[in-house]
Structure 1
Amino acid sequence: MSQKVNVGDKAPDFELVKPDGSVFSLKSQLKDKNVVLYFYPKDNTPGCTKQACEFRDQYEVFKEQNAEVIGISSDSSESHDDFERSHRLPFVLLSDKDNKVRNLFGVPRKFGIIPGRVTYVIDKNGIVRYIFNSMTKPLEHVKNALEVLKSIEKQ
Structure 2
Amino acid sequence: MIKTGAKAPDISLPDQDGNVVTLSDLLAEGPVILYFYPSDFTPGCTKEACSLRDMQTDLVASGLRVVGVSPQDSASHRRFADKHQLEFILLADEQKQAVKAYDVDGPLGFGVRRASFLIAADGTILDSIQADFMIDRHDEFFRRAAAQMKSSQD
TM-score (norm 1): 0.92
Report the residue type matching 2:63 in the other structure.
Answer: N
Q: Does 1:142 align with 2:139?
A: yes
Please give the secondary structure, in 2, of the residue aligned with 1:115: coil
Superposition deviation, residue 112 in structure 1 = 4.9
Whole-angstrom CA distance in 2 between matches of 1:26 and 1:150: 22
**In the alignment, what sits opposite 1:73?**
70
RMSD of aligned Cα (Å)? 1.4
Please give the secondary structure, in 2, of the residue aligned with 1:21: coil
CA contact (8 A) 2:30 2:120 kept: yes
**In the alignment, what sits opposite 1:22?**
19
Please give the secondary structure, in 1, of the residue aligned with 2:129: strand
In structure 2, list runs of 5 or more residues that go unmatched. Answer: none
Whole-angstrom CA distance in 2 between matches of 1:15 and 1:42: 19
Please give the secondary structure, in 2, of the residue aligned with 1:9: coil
Whole-angstrom CA distance in 2 between matches of 1:139 and 1:89: 19
More helix by share: 2
CA contact (8 A) 1:50 1:139 kept: no
CA 1:21–1:88: 2 relative to 1, 3 Å = same
* Per-residue deviation, residues 48-67 of structure 1 (Å, max 9, x unmatched): 00000000000111001100
Following TM superposition, where does structure 1 have runs of at least 4 consecutive aligned residues deviating by more than 3 angstroms? none
Whole-angstrom CA distance in 2 between matches of 1:87 and 1:81: 10
Whole-angstrom CA distance in 1 between matches of 2:138 and 2:86: 16
CA contact (8 A) 2:74 2:91 kept: yes
% identity of equivalent residues:
31
Whole-angstrom CA distance in 2 between matches of 1:110 and 1:56: 29
| Greater displacement, 28-37 / 133-142 | 133-142
Q: What is the 5 A alignment of 1:1-155?
A: 4-110=1-107, 112-155=109-152
Whole-angstrom CA distance in 2 between matches of 1:50 and 1:103: 24
Whole-angstrom CA distance in 2 between matches of 1:140 and 1:148: 12
Superposition deviation, residue 18 in structure 1 = 1.5
| Greater displacement, 111-120 / 33-42 | 111-120
TM-score (norm 2): 0.92
CA contact (8 A) 2:40 2:76 kept: yes
| Greater displacement, 120-129 / 136-145 | 136-145
Whole-angstrom CA distance in 2 between matches of 1:50 and 1:12: 27
* Per-residue deviation, residues 79-109 of structure 1 (Å, max 9, x unmatched): 1010000000010111000001100111141
